[in-house]
Amino acid sequence: MPDLTDIELIERETYYIVCNQSHFYKVGKNEGSILVRLKNGVCINEVSQQLGLSINELLNLLKSFEDRGMIQPQEDLHLLYFRFPLLSPDHILGRLANTIRRNKTFFCFLLFIANYVITLGITMLILSHREIFKYNIFQLNIYEIIYSMLILFITLGIRELCHGLAYKYFGGYVGKLGILFVFFLPVIYCDIRGNRTQMTKVQKAITAFAGIYCNTILLSISSILFFIGIRSSYLIILLYINLITICVNLIPFIPFDGYHVLDTVFGIPDLYKKSFIGVSNVFRHCSREEKIIGFYGIANWIFIIVSLYVGVVSISGILTKI
């Protein structure tokens, strides 16, 4: 019996939509009702008796769904990152989302305060940027390195949960929270690649920017503390980490916030995967969407090649100094 925990089933008038992470499938009413029963915990023997089908017929149907990748978790192949899921925060985030819905006035007040802090913090960052960027983050002692890694994990965990909270607020199903290896470096991720068919473009954009918004608040608080006279190296490390995280997540060539915003704006599902085989579209007559995929594909390949080159050169430089 396959695990149906992570799939979503949306009923339409004459069919069902099956969502497996970021992949969508359309099945008939009968097939969809079978999946709904099994997902709700009805054993296969009961389903067999209710629908008048043999066990073998049901197993063969499920096997065909598995072969199509419909009811098994699928991991999109990416040349620069790998995922390792740990736990599911969906229930906790659901309770937080319900609390926000019941206290919208107070939540709007908190957003007003947060926006004020961001405005003040960015202003102070600009005013004191020369002093801040004098600090060399490549000359850290062992305690500062350990602190940096700890702060990185904590801030990334918070920002990913902010993504999940926004997604849950708009009715999505939050998948696993886990560790993501980017350029072979471990970071935290929260899987919100589930069904987005019910979300508007504005809701998708808010969900994508929720993490950057969180980092901007932390960056602004750090800038304010630095401006008023706190010159601790640990505070500057916190500032740098959030600033770098914001910049990296705006890069549209890896499936972070910038990519999801770009995907939402253009409305092209699986833009990343299509771009690798769509590069030739640039050199032939085709639709506007295919042209966009082609140009994005060229930019994507350039980014990957440059990133790998910089990574190899950096590692080689480090090894030669050891």
- Domain ranges in the chain are 7-67, 81-253, 268-322
**Model pLDDT, residue 118:** 94
pLDDT classification of 122: cutoffs 50, 70, 90: very high
Residue 218: pLDDT over 90: yes
pLDDT classification of 87: cutoffs 50, 70, 90: confident
**Model pLDDT, residue 157:** 87
Residue range 182-210: average pLDDT?
74
What is the C-alpha to C-alpha distance for residues 307 and 311, in angstroms, rounded to an integer?
Answer: 6
Where is mean pLDDT largest: 122-131, 145-154, 265-274?
Answer: 122-131
CB 47 within 8 A of CB 58: yes
Say which residue, 85 or 131, is predicted with more confidence: 131
Say which residue, 286 or 106, is predicted with more confidence: 106
Tell whether pTM > 0.85.
Answer: no
Say which residue, 61 or 269, is predicted with more confidence: 61
Question: Which DSSP string corresponds to 104-119?
Answer: HHHHHHHHHHHHHHHH
**Model pLDDT, residue 156:** 85
pLDDT classification of 177: cutoffs 50, 70, 90: confident
- The secondary structure of the chain in percent helix, strand, coil, rounded to multiples of 5, reads 60, 10, 25
**Model pLDDT, residue 220:** 94
Say which residue, 79 or 139, is predicted with more confidence: 139
Say which residue, 81 or 242, is predicted with more confidence: 242
**What separation in angstroms does the CA of 246 have from each of 98, 218, 259, 317?**
28, 11, 13, 26
Residue 269: pLDDT over 60: yes
Residue 202: pLDDT over 90: no
**What separation in angstroms does the CA of 43 have from each of 36, 38, 47, 48, 59?**
11, 6, 6, 9, 12
Residue 197: pLDDT over 90: no
